[in-house]
Each structure stands twice: as C-alpha cells, then as structure tokens.
Amino acid sequence: MKGLFISLCTLCSGVLWALVIIHGSALAPHAEILGYIMTGVVAFLMCIQARHILLSFVPGTFIGACATFANQGEWHNVVPSLLLGLVFGFAMKNSGLWLAARREKLKPKTGSLLSE
C-alpha cells in the first residue's frame, strides 16, 4: 500500500508540474526561450522533490507530467485515467502474487522425473 500511495503522490505532482509549465509558458508566448528554460528548471525541480519520501518515485512524476502534456493540459481527464491505471496496476500485482502463491501450494512435494 505504501508504494501505491507514493505512486499516487508522484503522479499528481507530475500533473501539477505540467500545469505550471503550460500556464507559465503561456505568460510570454512571444519568447519561446523562456518556455524552454522553464521546462528545464521544472524538470530539475521534479527530480529534486524526490528527497521527500512521498515524492521519491521520480518516474511517476514524469509519467504524470507527460500524460498531462499528451492531453493538452486537460488535467480533469488525466487524473481519473491515472487513478484507474493505479487501481489496475495494484490489482494485477496482487492477483499475480496470489496466483504464484497458489501455484506453490499445488506443486507436488516429490520431485518429478523431469526435474531430476
């Protein structure tokens, strides 16, 4: 559950950082270089924030930001999609662990001829 919460925090922070870049770049649309500089500074800050334990999954931050850019800043569409992805990922991991544990239980105790 800790990893799920950390992923949630980093994805949401990525969405926020993307909105900072989008709206910050819109303040001076005639000076494209400022948008590039802002993107570099924000990318650096996205990595620095990993010092905080809840924001320590840096790829999650970039995934949240990239998903927001891909959806042209429509964060109200991005956040539910990311949350659904988290739920599916969590379910897949736990079901895989459950299946592996069940397989180990059903494994015969004696060695077969093929494994010798």
* In the chain, domain spans: 2-106
* 99-109 core/surface letters (b: 16 or more CB in 10 A; e: else): eeeeeeeeeee
| CA–CA gap between residue 13 and residue 19 (Å, rounded) | 10
- For residue 115, pLDDT beyond 60: no
What's residue 52's pLDDT? 95
Report the distance separating Cα 96 and Cα 102, nearest Å: 10
Rounded to an integer, the average pLDDT of 34-40 is 92
DSSP assignment string, 17-41: HHHHHHHHHHTSTT-HHHHHHHHHH
Q: What mean pLDDT is reported for the chain?
A: 91
Span 1-17, pLDDT tens digits: 899 999 999 999 999 99
CA dist 97 and 60 (Å) reads 22
Q: Which of 72, 82, 69, 64 is nearest to 13 (CA)?
A: 64
DSSP assignment, residue 1? -
Digit-coded pLDDT (tens) for 43-82: 999 999 999 999 999 999 999 999 999 999 999 999 999 9
